[in-house]
Amino acid sequence: MSINLITYQMTGNRYNFGEYLAKRIVESLGYTVNVYGNIYPLTSKTSSVLLSIGGLLNNDYCLELSKLSDKIYVWGSGLECQFSKHFLLPPDVVKDKIVLCMLRGELTRQAYGFSDDILIGDPGYLASMLFPVKNKTDEILQVPFYYDQVTHTPVDVLPGVTKCIGSLLGERSESVQQDFDLLLQSIGSSKFVLTGSMHAAIVAHSYSVPWAIIKKSTCDIETEWKWKDTFSAIGLDAGDVKAVSSLEEGEAWYNSVKNKIKMVTKDYQNEILDAFPKEVNE
């Protein structure tokens, strides 16, 4: 069975961790995945496509997709990084083309006025179920935002960090898959994760590893809409999204919100699996 997955790719051989995570998750469910996106766009007519991880539920992606695909299945996507009414799809496209299975966050749901019954979540919360870690360590892991690697912005390794691995895959080895496996296992086995990568935080949360958000060069995370949208799924409010600049600040932030955070349970993971659109395959 084959699925047309819409994602984002930096170049022909480099992926952002979150987008490659989507591919690996769908593959682990037993499907062959055809990846389309900015590097390899969909150019011919197809019966369906899948939007999973990323801010793809918007005009820029979906209007073109709606011309080539009969149905656009949404399993965890949301709006863009920042909210603007310009990004909202026209009602006729939503009605005729979009099949909602799971939305990234409450803010996306509210922006479109979708039903309260729609499951809120991200496929990344399945990581601990689908990719068990081999062991636990005392590593303090730092995962910089992928774009900081693209721009060659010097990454300041924070005091107390014992391992630093970027979230842009395909740079340190010839195999994107090897880079992915190393980062996934490192996140899942760590004692604490400091990251500017949203899906590094999501994966850490899936493994019940404490985490905190660190600053990135491209924007102020505390004002970035997608973080507030995403973490509404685990009980955090918009005001809870804070960027820290040290391990101590990160631990203090996590301790201040951990009683609010909904942990990832097997029941929740099964809900995410049950929401997967089995009819999306070609």
Residue-wise pLDDT for 143-177, tens only, equals 988 766 555 556 788 889 999 998 888 866 668 89
One CATH from 3.30.1490, 2.60.40, 3.30.450, 3.40.50 for 2-123+269-280: 3.40.50
- For residue range 49-101, what is the model confidence (pLDDT) as tens digits? 999 998 899 998 899 899 999 999 999 999 987 788 889 999 999 999 999 99
* pLDDT beyond 90 at 223: no
Task: Characterize the bridge pairing of strands 9-11 and 140-143.
Answer: unpaired
Residue 176's CB is within 10 A of a number of other CB atoms, namely 19
**Statement: 127-257 belongs to CATH 3.40.50:** yes
Average pLDDT of the chain?
91
User: Can you give the C-alpha Rg of the chain in angstroms?
Assistant: 18
**What does the pLDDT read at residue 180?**
94
- For the chain, give every domain's residue range: 2-123+269-280, 127-257
- With a pLDDT cut of 90, the percent of the chain lying above it is 72
User: What is the CB neighbour count within 10 angstroms for residue 82?
Assistant: 12
Helix (H) or strand (E) run with residue 143 in it: strand 140-143
* Token digits of residue 183: 């980062």
